[in-house]
Amino acid sequence: MNCPQESSAWAGRYAAHLLRTLAVLLPSAADLPLPAAPTAAEDVHPALAWARSGAMALTGMADGPPQLCPLPLATGIDGVARALSAVLQSAGGRWQGALPGVETLGERAALNGLQRRGQISAGGACRLLPVADGWLAISLPRADDWHLIAAWLECDSASETGTEACWQRLAGLLRRRPLAALIDRARLLGLAVAAIENVEDVEDAWPGTTPAAWYQRQPVVAATPQPQPSAFAAPLVVDLSSLWAGPLCSHLLQLTGARVIKVESRQRPDGARRGEAAFFDLLNHGKASVALDFSSPQDLRRLRELLLRADIVIEAARPRALRQLGIVAEDIIVANPGLSWVAISGHGRNEPQADWIAYGDDAGVAAGLSGLMLRLTGAPLFCGDAIADPLTGWHATLAALAAHVSGGGQLISLALSDVVRHCAQFGLPATPADLQRRWQRWQARLVAEGITAANVPLPSPRHAPVAARPLGADTDAILQELGIA
């Protein structure tokens, strides 16, 4: 794999790589006059980008120093931002507000007061626990997840869920059990798990013949692709997603001028509403809020009508979740051939991965990040805060915008674990020894720039100018405006 020189423009190179990918995977994107991505020498070095993003302050033991991850993860966001600007410019559009950058990696932690905790994720819902033959990442963010522990391990269930005592009891139950069996049974039950692996060991998931693996395109419309618009038309986005990656995607699309309708289930609204209001407001301000009863045939018909009027749909659930409601992405695109459907999942839409659950922290582990930190530091560590979420949100935005300006008719799948893996392996050194030397060089670069363990920048967030709309505040108005009975 190509390894850019330390002085090369990492963000510019990654942007150019993404633009080449779009030209290969989107049938009409090859006709777009995509300008070359900038490769200016003033590109921020990946080590500096990692530190300035706040992710370094979130990586390491709670009582130890912040840790550098020697992969161009934060720089990848700068690369996506450049590619986004190129696509938008090629379509005659322009940004409607200031585009954020690497700070998006640390915004949730900053707004929620989260800190690095070593083998405990910053958010606290995921832990790295030793098992008989390795390490296991397990995410248990919901009470329902804890109720599955008894079936998973064939033991008595805990009377309380999520307490430190519960975690310690779980750690004791796992310590002598084999990793592979634990993972297989957990996935059957719908638990989010991942094994710690080395970043090089998961490279086989990326065949060299694949032009890019940060997303998979599934052409749905067999006829000639829709004509490319002569001028940029700001899309109507229906966002069915929740938590972080999907809402970040629609938030960034708003900056292109997109109008976003956030659709939530009345019974199970976006779980982020129960968290820190400042973070929910940041990602969701300016979006209309529609709430529907997904158990009601009438409301499901309304949902279908909304999707038929959309230019871009964003969803972040296992494929079977919508299919069980009678919403089949492929059918919606056939009926609305200009639609670009972006499906975010934990591990992709192919079987058996389509049924596997993942969250931002365990997806980063699955991509090899914690295995890398174990080799370098001697301890398995989480990298940043749920790092797969912001990385996937950025890449999903690029996929959505490119599909839209090239005519639509696309179902695009992005997996949290695959996106992180792709970013991590961009410019990956050929051997573990080379990666170790890079880690040492990059640490020296930080010291040369005056960044030491004592003054690593803390995460610095943006703030929403207004609050997000209350649940369902715009349901009647949106349905009336779009002519949906």
- pLDDT class of 444 with cuts at 50, 70, 90: very high
pLDDT exceeding 70 applies to what percent of the chain? 87
pTM: predicted TM-score of the whole model, two decimal places: 0.93
User: Mean of the pLDDT values across residues 307-323?
Assistant: 94
- pLDDT tens across 374-387, in order? 999 999 999 999 99
Residue 230: inside a domain:
yes
Q: Give yes or no: residues 100 and 53 share one domain.
A: yes
Residue-wise pLDDT tens digits, 86-119: 999 888 899 999 999 999 999 999 999 999 999 9
- Please give the Cα distance from 68 to 47 (Å, whole number): 7
Instruction: Indicate whether 222 belongs to any domain.
Output: yes
pLDDT of 102: 95
- Tens of pLDDT, residues 181-239: 999 999 999 999 999 986 555 543 333 323 344 555 555 544 344 555 556 788 999 99
Q: CB burial class (10 A; 0-12, 13-18, 19+) of residue 432?
A: middle
Helix 416-425 vs helix 369-377: crossing angle, to nearest 10: 50
Q: Are residues 182 and 211 located together in one domain of the fold?
A: no
Judge whether 283 lies within some domain: yes
In 3-state terms the chain splits into helix, strand, coil percentages (rounded to 5) of 45, 10, 45
- Assess whether 154 and 73 both reside in one domain: no
Q: Is the pLDDT of residue 241 over 70?
A: yes
283 with 379, same domain: the answer is yes
- Give the burial class of 38: count Cβ atoms within 10 A of its Cβ; 0-12 exposed, 13-18 middle, 19 or more buried: middle
Residue 74 inside a domain? The answer is yes
Reading the block at residue 338, the tokens are 């200009």
Residue 197 has a pLDDT of 80
66 pLDDT tier (thresholds 50, 70, 90): very high
Is there a single domain that holds both residue 178 and residue 47?
no
Mean residue pLDDT of the chain comes to 88
pLDDT, tens digit (0-9, with 9 covering 90-100), for 259-289: 999 999 999 999 999 989 999 999 999 999 9
Please determine, for residue 32, whether its predicted confidence score (pLDDT) is greater than 60: no
Q: Which of 29-38, 406-415, 439-448 has the highest mean pLDDT?
A: 439-448
Confidence band, pLDDT 50/70/90 cuts, at residue 42? low
- Report the distance separating Cα 69 and Cα 404, nearest Å: 34
Q: Domain of 174?
A: 141-190
31 within 8 A of 62, measured Cβ to Cβ: no
* Closest residue by Cα to residue 349 from 416, 435, 430, 275: 416
| Domain boundary residue, one of 190, 224, 247 | 190
Check residue 199 and give its pLDDT.
59
Average pLDDT over residues 277-306: 97
pLDDT at 125: 96
Say yes or no: 205 and 186 in one domain. no
Task: Check whether residue 165 and residue 309 sit in a common domain.
Answer: no
Residues 395 and 446 in one domain: yes
